[in-house]
Structure 1
């Protein structure tokens, strides 16, 4: 889209005063017939002029963007059109009773009982969030169902952005323009991890015609408080526009595997999915993908995939037909104040490595549990999400510097990026673990850390049998928690693989680690769950006396 020839973007500061003063009501109270307006009325008229100037910007953006907005109809086989969230996670299982001659029975603890419940994986939406419901379902005819959403042309040759959940499972998609033009395509490229899809129209269908298009902005420049306009076809009201402001950045909702949403309050409803979110320069800053809603409609919170992410995804889809991502091969967590204190590093030092995948690229580079990753490829990282974003865009096979803090000292490793497609086999290490309770048995020795509220038992053969662990498993079993340990999220039945700076591979290691604990200082524990899942560091801060 050509750069606008007029100037806009900054709205006069007096607009804020207009809103604060009562806006429209103040304007209506001014009498145009008064020959000598009072000072207050003069100020109100000035505010009204500022409001009209903002309206003019909205009108200009609508005129530029609306021709490039499309209504999307996706034809889907009914089997594929079923709600992917219909199969929710279920929990069930029986817990045999276990006793202890000394009266210490962790298996009677409700938390310990829940630990042994069998979990059947599924896709469950967080309460109050909707994405599949944020596109409309049209009439079903035979075995075909039509889903409806929105989109926008980003290249005059016929490239159209929308949501994956709008077109998922579709054999063909029809797009309609405001001027009545309609095109159908079966060239559908998707990235389910971010809920982004790219449609490519057939050049023969366009017959040399250049479509109106909208450019992608640098969403990193978008700030909280910026005006944004949402375009789309909500509730079958095709080619609508609503206005709001950016109300948050880097949001997550649990709707997609990789999330970095812009939150805004421009009204979006079912049918808005895939529509563009644009700034006052008429450029796309995001693709609307979800709403937070109690009833299924607009509740004041919408989410959009940032345009900077969308651009990289669209380039990957055009070049490869899918998105090629690199992966690091670690489980990581935020470095909170308590954990940073226990490690002796600044709270903003970087990202804590909780576990390293066997034979993954990080392990090959020399990364270890307890390392704090400071930067990758020269880019500083402050949290797991920022690190993941740097990692995924690395060139596969390229070697880059990886800066870490280990035992208080900084060092640089060389990291070679590997393709995420190779990751699933390496991530299976913990997935095979499943707890099985067989017999009552004895708990055995218990090491108690009273100040930190933690009781641990060596991982004996009896415990291995109870928890269904093989001989390769290491650590100490959590048999009771209270106080600091409970507040840190520890539960009976978990394994502590590392206590302080000491790894626990035997009963002797456990005794030495317990003896080294300082009762008046935070204690760092690396905790895992025998059912599977990630290890994570937990910091146990003793209560002040």
Structure 2
């Protein structure tokens, strides 16, 4: 039998390392955001009075949430039969019965002793009445100060009278690091005053909830009813408003999302001052860059936001922005991803003059823009968007086939305009066919798209496009930058031009 021998000096060293590790965990301040030595009890006791339960009441018509009564001639036997059936389905109430009340639950927290309370917009959306229950079970009726569906925030107000309220401050969510401890308090499934702990799992998450997504992700347990509740750091500061979870079952699986305080505070300030949010605006439509686009315009990487269209009446055109520019930096902030630009612009004070670094004609340029106020229907939005290559083949009636791209285009005849719902004044050529698995299909082109520019030159006929394709191939270009429009969106597409190998 083989018996391992223990080296006394090695064992002593291990004991020393273990002791030092324990000391490091116990020494106060040894970790910037470590868990308190005694747990979270003291912190939770201090914060619980600031967190409230929110219940809403909404008036619903009898037909809401269930099938409607089919229409039959008055007095017909079928009318009576279906009326009785509907009454049974709706608990004895006929479709003509009085409206009923529906209730929902959520969370919120006090930010001002004067009675201002923060929650999610979706918690109070369409509510007729809003009630707020404090930690000591005192109930107040709340009024809506303002709400912002784009960031999913709402500001409420109660009149506490002589009742003392315990507000909590906001912290700097930009300082939060992945791995920092956080505490979530809320009203999950109606169980008020529930405290859960976890860490910041990730930052800057985009879950397609709105145009300014920049969520903090946490593994602290968040469930239905936690919406609108606070996420605290270990100093007791609110760094996020719990808003959403990802779960196949509806319960927490450790993937929750919170609106960061850095995004929420300016919104709440505007709601308090104006009852609505006033956002900065450049008046541009933007889209992301792919590898082919970046290479086509000479950019060394895919960072930046491509300007698909400049509003003729917006601040961008006054600043000198043009279609096809790429915004690389805005007010000193690098645009590492396209979706960053709308948030930066929206959070900029209205009227502020900012430097905008752009890529145009193969080089960086700097212009100055004065940020305007976003209108109700803003123009700035995100635009979401081999085989042998024979020459383009011209056919009858202004039709052009580009086999290497898998694309067929035509002059916009009245029949095609009617077929694809195109405006009579729309200029360009219309895509009539896109072959599956072709380069054009991979770039998202589809029948009904209108090509209005190629290589920044107007396209008014299929022949114009064919000429520019051939010029590009002769020049050794790998792609041709097309400006494509349809009734839903406007975008740029880099159409590959590389010749394939002959079979």
Answer yes or no: is 1:490 the counterpart of 2:472: no
Partner of 1:535: 491
Partner of 2:316: 362
Partners of 1:484 and 1:543 within 8 A in 2 = no
After TM superposition, list the pairs within 5 Å mapping 1:97-176 onto structure 2.
Answer: 143-176=100-133
The 1:53–1:526 alpha-carbon spacing in structure 2 relative to 1, beyond 3 Å, is closer
The 1:62–1:387 alpha-carbon spacing in structure 2 relative to 1, beyond 3 Å, is same
The 1:267–1:391 alpha-carbon spacing in structure 2 relative to 1, beyond 3 Å, is same
Partner of 2:59: 77
Separation of aligned partners in 2, 1:80 and 1:69: 35
Partners of 2:48 and 2:185 within 8 A in 1 = yes
Partner of 1:251: 205
- Give the C-alpha shift of residue 196 in structure 1: 0.4
Separation of aligned partners in 1, 2:13 and 2:332: 61
Separation of aligned partners in 2, 1:542 and 1:210: 72
Partner of 1:185: 142
Partners of 1:497 and 1:503 within 8 A in 2 = yes
1:185-205: CA deviations, max 9, x gaps? 224421111110111222xx3
Separation of aligned partners in 2, 1:474 and 1:363: 21
Answer yes or no: is 1:198 the counterpart of 2:155: yes
The 1:293–1:542 alpha-carbon spacing in structure 2 relative to 1, beyond 3 Å, is farther
Partner of 1:106: none
TM-score in terms of structure 1 length: 0.71
Query: Matched residue pairs, number?
Result: 438
Structure 1 alignment gaps of length 5 or more: 1-35, 87-140, 431-441
Separation of aligned partners in 2, 1:196 and 1:58: 27
Partners of 1:342 and 1:539 within 8 A in 2 = no
Partner of 2:69: none
Partner of 1:213: 167
Partner of 1:336: 290
Partners of 2:202 and 2:218 within 8 A in 1 = yes
Answer yes or no: is 1:444 the counterpart of 2:409: no
Partner of 1:523: 479
1:64-89: CA deviations, max 9, x gaps? 22121111112333369979xx9xxx
1:296-325: CA deviations, max 9, x gaps? 221221111111111111111111111111
Partners of 2:443 and 2:493 within 8 A in 1 = no
The 1:303–1:372 alpha-carbon spacing in structure 2 relative to 1, beyond 3 Å, is same
Which protein, 1 or 2, shows the higher relative CO under an 8 Å CA cutoff with sep ≥ 6?
1
Separation of aligned partners in 1, 2:255 and 2:326: 35
- Give the C-alpha shift of residue 486 in structure 1: 2.3
After TM superposition, list the pairs within 5 Å mapping 1:307-346 onto structure 2.
Answer: 307-346=261-300
The 1:331–1:447 alpha-carbon spacing in structure 2 relative to 1, beyond 3 Å, is same
Structure 2 alignment gaps of length 5 or more: 1-10, 27-33, 67-97, 384-394
Partners of 1:234 and 1:270 within 8 A in 2 = yes
SS in 1 for 2:490: coil
Separation of aligned partners in 2, 1:418 and 1:49: 52
Separation of aligned partners in 1, 2:64 and 2:108: 22
Partner of 1:91: none
SS in 2 for 1:246: strand
Partner of 1:65: 47
Partners of 1:77 and 1:145 within 8 A in 2 = yes
Separation of aligned partners in 1, 2:472 and 2:212: 39
**Deviates most, 74-83 or 267-276:** 74-83
Answer yes or no: is 1:272 the counterpart of 2:226: yes
- Give the C-alpha shift of residue 163 in structure 1: 0.6
SS in 2 for 1:229: strand
Separation of aligned partners in 2, 1:147 and 1:80: 18
Separation of aligned partners in 1, 2:193 and 2:346: 35
- Give the C-alpha shift of residue 244 in structure 1: 1.8
**Deviates most, 462-471 or 229-238:** 462-471
Partners of 1:475 and 1:495 within 8 A in 2 = yes
1:395-430: CA deviations, max 9, x gaps? 334444333221113333343333222545x689x9
SS in 1 for 2:285: strand
1:448-495: CA deviations, max 9, x gaps? 444444443344455334433344312232323443222222223322
- Aligned CA RMSD, in angstroms, stands at 3.5
Partner of 1:475: 428
